Amino acid sequence: MENKILKTEGLSAFYNENEAVQNVSVSFPKNEITAIMGPSGCGKTTFLRCLNRMHELTDGASIDGKILLNGENLNELEPIKVRRQIGMVFQHPNPFPTMSIFNNVIAGYKLNGIDKGEEEFRWIVEKSLKEAGLWEEVKNDLHKKGASLSGGQKQRLCIARALAINPEIILMDEPTSALDPVATKHIEELIGNLTKNVTVILVTHNMSQAGRVSDYAMFMYLGEMMETGNTDKMFTNPKKEITEKFLTGKIG
């Protein structure tokens, strides 16, 4: 039986009166890639943003229910500490424009004034960039600004940045939807290699990507979690009719 690192119990998310996520109870397997898919507007991004307590940053946003990380209720912890455990990569690559590539990777330390020392930072940067599959391309240009990279490279830089602080889980919100097919392929490959050290939860509206990349899949529709299960099994033999409709392109 797989180890479940993250669990939600009756999680609902609201924007003022509007219930965007309805009563979701799921668990995520550790060191696996879980894809959350569904048509646009089904609440999957909102759900994802609850997991690292980013949802509450929006005006009028609120949640109900529990989120448990290794058994601890996230809502009883400082959001700032939750986010060190659960990192995030966004849809639009956004390295910090005023910082070099080197400093972008270790931004999680530098911006908090944490000094690990020159040597250790270099080690962290190399390790994170290698995990993100970017090291070879930028190793001689680490002092250059992050804005000088291509879209795909920027996104890999953002992944390296998220990895550098050693989170247990990385959330990815449509990480390749703003990228070209070649960049997308690069990133899909590296996601596969990340699970040695982290658990990946990936939101995507592209179900073939979900099929290619993930071990475990969840299907959301209109705010409700419709079906979850092993990816291969769900894709070949969906349990619910609505899941089947989504997978065959009839909805979304």
Partner 1 sequence: MGKKSLRNKKNNKSGGESYSSSDFPFLWSFKNKLFNSGLFLAGITVILIVAGIFVSLIIASLPSIKEFGIDFLFSTKWNPVIEKFGALPFLVGTLLTSFLALAICIPFSLAISILLGEYFTEGWFASLVKTLTELLAGIPSVIYGFWGMFFLVPVVRYLENVIGVQPYGIGIFTSSLILAIMIIPYSASLGRDVIEMVPSEYKEAAYSLGATRFEVIKKIILPYSRSGIFAGIILALGRAVGETMAVTMLIGNSNKMPDSIFSPGNTMASVIANEFNESTFELYTSSLIEIGAVLFIVTIVINLVGKYIIKKFEVET
Partner 2 sequence: MKNIEKRKLKNSVFKYSTVAIAILALLPLFFIIFYVFRKGLPVINWEFLTSVPKSIGESGGGILNAMVGTLMLVIIASAIAVPIGIFAGVLISEHPDNIISKMLNLSVEILQGIPSIVIGLIGYIWIVRQMGHFSALSGGITLSIMMLPMIIKHTKETLELIPDTLKESAYALGIPYYNTLLKVILPSGLSGIFTGILLGLARIAGETAPLLFTAFGNSYLNVDILKPVAALPLLIYNYATSPYQEWHKISWGASCILVIFVLTLNIISRLVIKKWKIKY
- Site of interaction with partner 2 (CB under 8 A): 52, 54, 57, 80-84, 87-88, 90, 92, 94, 96-98, 107-108, 111-113, 147, 158, 161-162, 165
- Residue 87 interface partner, choices partner 1, partner 2, none, CB cut-off 5-8 Å depending on type: partner 2
Residue closer to partner 2 by CB (options 147, 222) is 147
Contacting positions for partner 1 (CB under 8 A): 70, 72, 75-78, 80-81, 84-85, 108-109, 112-114, 127, 165-168, 196-197
Give the residue with the Cβ less far from partner 2, 96 or 135. Answer: 96
Which of partner 2, partner 1, none does residue 135 bind to, with CB < 5 to 8 Å depending on kind? none
- 77, 158 Cβ separation under 8 angstroms: no
Question: What SS3 class is residue 217?
Answer: strand
Whose Cβ is closer to partner 2: residue 97's or residue 181's?
A: 97
> Is residue 15 exposed (0-12), middle (13-18) or buried (19+ Cβ within 10 Å)?
middle
Residues 170/162, Cβ–Cβ less than 8 Å: yes
Q: Is 86 or 149 the residue whose CB approaches partner 1 more closely?
A: 86
Determine the Cα–Cα distance for residues 86 and 132; give it in Å rounded to an integer. Answer: 17
How many Å apart are CA 235 and CA 248, to the nearest integer? 10
Give the dihedral sign, CA 7/11/16/19: positive
The residues, ordered by sequence, that sit 6+ positions from 237 with a Cβ below 8 Å of its Cβ are none
Q: Cβ(53)–Cβ(78) under 8 Å? A: no
> Of these partners, partner 2, partner 1, none, which one is at the site of residue 114 (CB under 5 to 8 Å by kind)?
partner 1
From the list partner 2, partner 1, none, pick the one residue 72 interacts with, judged by a Cβ distance below 5 to 8 Å according to partner type.
Answer: partner 1
CB of 73 to partner 1, least distance (A): 9
CA dist., res. 111 & res. 213, Å (int)? 32
Closest CB to partner 2 among residues 1, 80: 80
> What is the smallest separation between the CB atom of 132 and partner 1, expressed in angstroms?
15
User: What does the block give as tokens for 74?
Assistant: 């996230």
CA-based nearest residue to 188, from 170, 201, 175: 175
Considering the complex, what minimum distance in angstroms separates the CB of residue 244 from partner 2? 35
Residue whose CB is less far from partner 1, 20 or 165: 165
Task: Tell me the closest approach of the beta carbon of residue 56 to partner 1, in angstroms.
Answer: 13
**At closest approach, how far in Å is the CB of 164 from partner 2?**
9
